[in-house]
Amino acid sequence: MEKSKKLLSELKGLDFKNMYNDDFLLTWEKTDDEISAVHKVADILRDLRENNVSTKLFDSGLAISLFRDQSTRTRFSFASACNLLGLEVQDLDEGKSQIAHGETVRETANMISFMADVIGIRDDMYIGKGNTYMKEVSKSVVEGHKDGVLEQRPTLVNLQCDIDHPTQSMSDMLHIINEFGGVENLKGKKIAMTWAYSPSYGKPLSVPQGIVGLMTRFGMDVVLAHPEGYEIMSDVEDVAEKNAASTGGSFVKTNSMAEAFKDADIVYPKSWAPFKAMEERTELYGNGDFDGIKALEQELLAQNANHKDWECTEELMASTKDGKALYMHCLPADITGVSCEEGEVEASVFDRYRVPLYKEASYKPYIIAAMMFLSKTKDPVAMIEKLMAKGTERFQG
């Protein structure tokens, strides 16, 4: 476990005390030291598990999951992370709860949290709703703990909202750090976060926003590329610009996929819906205007179809740095000729990068576990040392 010992030594030099008993909602709400601490703890937890050392913090306790959108990777990553730390997961099905009968957020948050240590929420469907809901849940459990209703204050982890997807971007960043041999090697590296064609219309903006909001903190040259009309939130662009200015990197926008790919070290072609259209969809749903929603869907599908040339091809990949850029995707990708007739990426490109893509996804359980670990332990360094010294075998074969 020499890797863990080295990482632990580096962890001791970071200031992350404010993460104790706090939530993880947006990456740009966290300091550089706190971001680094999550990455180091994630790598430590992975190293310990690979060396068959148990990392259970809890002998009992619940982790509540609420998914308001479909999920495979994040859902199972959350469950894996909770199990890694010794928590049992209970999924909150709103259709089977009193929420369907008008129960308030404050009441629900307290009723599910009597023995809950963590709450994970995915709420990414509607602009202006998801992050706001998470903050309301957090406020409710903080009040419940203060009033003596709850024995503990549950940690809230954002499993994707309308603004950010922190567990995804943090996992992607750790993948990049390890692929390039350390965070010190990332300065000046070019990453292209580009829109790509999809035959579906409503993919969340939180992935591209999470990427530009985080990657700009590492001195990288971040390019955001999309056709005209597919802009992301201006507030997130402001975050990216400020990050780039403070780290010596850059943040530029272009309407050319080819320009973004040119000499890039990393490419991330991924479809998303236009911000203004998602605002309109949220308003239509709020008004119960389902005919308007159907009309908007058809309008956006037609708009997407005008940009089928925004595809990650072998030709574009050849234009990257030495023709060997790291291809990334949050998955599932729309693969041309495989999962759809025309999509985000050529099948040959995806197949060549399939193993690295799966490795990219494999970091997410450890990132989520690290977020929880740093929130639930007052002295994470001492706790890791205790786990290492104890050396309880995870699997006794």
The pLDDT tens digits for 241-284 are 999 999 999 999 999 999 999 999 999 999 999 999 999 999 99
- Gap between the terminal Cα atoms of the chain: 20
Which residues of the chain have a pLDDT value below 70?
98-101
Distance set, CA 114 to CA 145, 169, 371 (Å): 10, 31, 21
Q: What is the Cα 197 distance to its own chain's centre? A: 21
The model carries a pTM of 0.97
Residues comprising the chain, all counted:
397
Predicted local confidence at residue 100, as pLDDT: 60
Contact by Cβ (8 Å): 335, 345: yes
3 state SS for the chain: CHHHHHHHHHHCCCCCHHHCCCCECCHHHCCHHHHHHHHHHHHHHHHHHHCCECCCCCCCCEEEEEECCCCCHHHHHHHHHHHHHCCEEEECCHHHCHHHHCCCHHHHHHHCCCCEEEEEEEECCCCCCHHHHHHHHHHHHHHHHHCCCCCCCCEEEEEEECCCCHHHHHHHHHHHHHHCCCHHHCCCCEEEEECCCCCCCCCCCHHHHHHHHHHHHHCCEEEEECCCCCCCCHHHHHHHHHHHHHHCCEEEEECCHHHHHCCCCEEEECCCCCHHHHHHHHHHHHCCCHHHHHHHHHHHHHHHHCCCCCCECHHHHHCCHHHCCEECCCCCCCEECCCECCCCEEHHHHHHCHHHHHHHHHCHHHHHHHHHHHHHCCCHHHHHHHHHHHCCECCCC
CA distance 210 to 191: 13
Predicted local confidence at residue 143, as pLDDT: 98
Predicted local confidence at residue 201, as pLDDT: 86
Domains of the chain: 2-164+364-390 (3.40.50.1370), 167-361 (3.40.50.1370)
| Six token digits for residue 284 | 């239509």
Predicted local confidence at residue 397, as pLDDT: 77
| Six token digits for residue 21 | 């008993």
Predicted local confidence at residue 202, as pLDDT: 82
Predicted local confidence at residue 393, as pLDDT: 96
Spell out a b/e string for 236-247, using b for 16 or more CB atoms within 10 Å of the CB, else e. bbebbbebbeeb
